């Protein structure tokens, strides 16, 4: 089930055509099957099916990058752009919290952290973010020690400043 390249387009053998599941949206469909699978577009979504024709015993998909059917079925959870994905270590079942991103108590005593890839002014539907559940927080340090203040002073009443990392204890 391998594709081979012919003059800028990929042709698959006839056996693969029978295992297809994604329909071709073009009006120029030929042949009895009229379907194909196993490609990841390298261009805009509305152009993915342009020029997809079944000719004789092979499918020709110009401007598409074909992947074997087994790889497409194995990685179904990673298909598309802009989708949300989740994966966890199979040795720790139920490590991902269900129905929420930042629970007060994470399973296995993990720390929930969000990494944002967009500006805070971006609309909510355009935000790109990742929730990570770590064994240790990404910002971890030893406690700071107090130095002689010298010329530095503070006017915060009786409480000295605390630069150490503060962790809010979870509710019990």
What is the domain partition of the chain in residue ranges?
A: 4-78, 86-140+167-172
Spell out the residues 6+ positions from residue 35 whose beta carbon is closer than 8 angstroms to its own. Answer: 17, 20, 21, 22, 23, 24
pLDDT at 15: 34
pLDDT at 153: 74
Question: For the chain, where are the alpha helices, taking DSSP H only?
Answer: 14-17, 69-74
Taken in order 27, 31, 32, 35, the sign of the CA dihedral is negative
pLDDT at 28: 40
Taken in order 86, 90, 95, 99, the sign of the CA dihedral is positive
pLDDT in tens, the chain (172 residues): 333 333 333 333 333 333 333 344 443 444 444 444 433 333 333 333 333 433 333 444 444 555 555 555 555 555 566 667 778 888 888 888 888 888 888 888 888 888 887 777 888 777 777 888 888 888 778 888 888 777 777 777 777 777 887 766 655 5
Task: Characterize 68-95 residue by residue with b for buried, 16 or more Cβ atoms within 10 angstroms of its Cβ, and e for exposed.
Answer: ebeebeeeeeeeeeeeeeeeeeeeeeee
pLDDT at 53: 39
Q: What is the CA radius of gyration of the chain?
A: 27
pLDDT at 70: 59
pLDDT at 116: 81
| 144 half-sphere exposure, CB direction, 13 A CA radius | 10
Neighbours of 26 (CB within 10 A): 13
d(CA 6, CA 127): 41
Q: Is 28:34 a contact under the CB 8 Å cutoff?
A: no
The DSSP secondary-structure symbol of 144 reads: P
pTM over 0.85: no
pLDDT at 9: 35
Residue with tokens 């949300």: 84
């Amino acid at each position: 089930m391998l594709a081979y390249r012919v003059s800028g387009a990929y042709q698959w053998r006839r056996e693969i055509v029978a295992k297809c599941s994604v329909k071709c949206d073009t009006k120029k469909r030929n042949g009895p099957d009229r379907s194909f699978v196993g490609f990841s577009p390298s261009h805009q979504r509305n152009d993915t099916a342009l020029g997809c024709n079944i000719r004789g015993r092979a499918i020709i998909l110009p401007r598409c990058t074909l992947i074997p059917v087994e790889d497409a079925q194995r990685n179904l959870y990673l298909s598309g752009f802009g989708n949300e994905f989740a994966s966890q270590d199979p040795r720790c079942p139920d490590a991902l919290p269900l129905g929420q991103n930042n629970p007060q108590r994470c399973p296995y005593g993990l720390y929930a952290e969000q990494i944002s890839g967009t500006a805070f002014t971006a609309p909510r539907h355009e935000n790109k973010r990742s929730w990570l559940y770590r064994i240790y927080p990404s910002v971890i340090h030893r406690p700071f020690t107090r130095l002689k203040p010298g010329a530095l002073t503070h006017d915060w009443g009786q409480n000295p400043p605390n630069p150490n990392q503060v962790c809010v204890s979870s509710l019990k």
